[in-house]
Amino acid sequence: MTRQTGIILSRTQYGSDSVILNILTTEGLISVIRKGLSRHKSQVRMIETTVGMMVEYVCSPCSGSGALPYIKEMTLLPTHPVNAPLPPVRAAQKLFMCDITRCSIRGGIDDSPLFFLLEEYLSLLSSSDVRFLCLEYTYKLCAALGFAPRGENTVVASYYDMCEGVFTPFQPSHKYYLTPSYSNLFFSLDRSIDTSPHSYTTDQWEKLWHILMTYYSLHVTDFHIPRSLAYLKEICRLEFFS
């Protein structure tokens, strides 16, 4: 049995004392069962299985065809910045980043970039300016998922065709496109992590979320806007825009 490292993306109650965990690893998304949450060690196990935690674990072999493996051992990585305690607004951001990743993963691609991208951005929650970190992560996730823009914007006044993922000097015939001004706003999210973040007004912030969720709905099959986004926006309005 091999010890693996992963980030917990979701936790679902299973029976009276177990949970099903979706864990993102460098090898992809796996589903496992963690037992014993009603025993004397349940408080520790509840913390270990919190969404967004970086854990090491060992699974027992599956008991039958289609059965989920059981976690035999699980431990937190206590010194990893992903597991640092967070205030409410940053905890909401952590939950959303895990949620959007879980909602968007598609089969048939190399998932290691997803793991390292999520690890990088979750680590930033304990140290950096986080006002627009979730916007930037959601934008960067497009590239890791394989539907980032193709080509460069070589024309000053370019439309962006959201269906095809390309820039065009002509207005597309369908409704899913960005005007030149909104195109520039959207691609302002494309910055390296070591440069200063852009600043956005409340209206720009709201518009960027609308653009991103529309973009995901066009490129991720059966995509549903994460429920955690509504809470994230509410707490960010109070923290950053009031």
> What are the tens digits of pLDDT across the range 176-209?
999 999 988 998 888 776 666 678 999 999 999 9
Residue with tokens 């070591």: 194
Question: Do 133 and 92 contact (CB within 8 A), yes or no?
Answer: no
Q: pLDDT band at 37, cuts 50/70/90?
A: confident
From the list 31, 96, 94, 79, the residue with the least C-alpha distance to 57 is 31
Does CATH place domain 84-241 in 3.40.47.10? no
How much is the pLDDT for 67?
A: 82
Q: What angle do CA 99, 100, 106 make, to 5 degrees?
A: 110
Tell me the pLDDT tens digit for each residue of 50-98. 999 999 999 887 766 678 899 999 999 988 999 999 999 999 999 999 9
- What is the residue extent of each domain of the chain? 4-82, 84-241
- Looking at per-residue pLDDT, the higher value among 127 and 159 belongs to 159
pLDDT score of 119: 96
The per-residue pLDDT for 173 is: 95
Report pLDDT for 198. 76
3 state SS for 145-205: HCCCCCCCCCCCCCEEECCCCEEECCCCCCCCEECHHHHHHHHCCCCCCCCCCCCCCHHHH
> Between the CA of residue 6 and those of 53, 101, 136, 197, what are the distances in Å?
8, 13, 22, 28
If pLDDT is split at 50, 70 and 90, which confidence band does 28 have? confident
pLDDT digits (tens, 9 = 90+) for 101-158: 999 987 655 678 899 999 999 999 988 788 999 999 999 999 888 887 765 655 566 8
Q: Is 213 helix (H, G, I), strand (E, B) or coil?
A: helix
pLDDT of residue 100 exceeding 80: yes
Tell me how crowded residue 70 is: count the other CB atoms within 10 A of its CB.
15
pLDDT of residue 1: 63
Q: What local confidence, expressed as pLDDT, does residue 40 receive?
A: 59
Q: β-strands 4-14, 28-34: how paired?
A: unpaired
Percent of the chain with pLDDT over 90: 56
Q: Is 17 helix (H, G, I), strand (E, B) or coil?
A: coil
What crossing angle do the helices spanning 88-104 and 133-145 adopt, rounded to 10°? 20
- Residue 7 burial (CB count, 10 A): 24
CATH number, span 4-82 = 2.40.50.140
Tell me how far CA of residue 168 lies from CA of 59, 158, 176, 183, in angstroms: 50, 6, 13, 11
| pTM, rounded to two decimals | 0.91
pLDDT for residue 47 = 84
For 61-71, the pLDDT digits (tens) are 776 667 889 99
Cβ proximity of 52 and 82 under 8 Å: yes
* pLDDT recorded at residue 228: 97
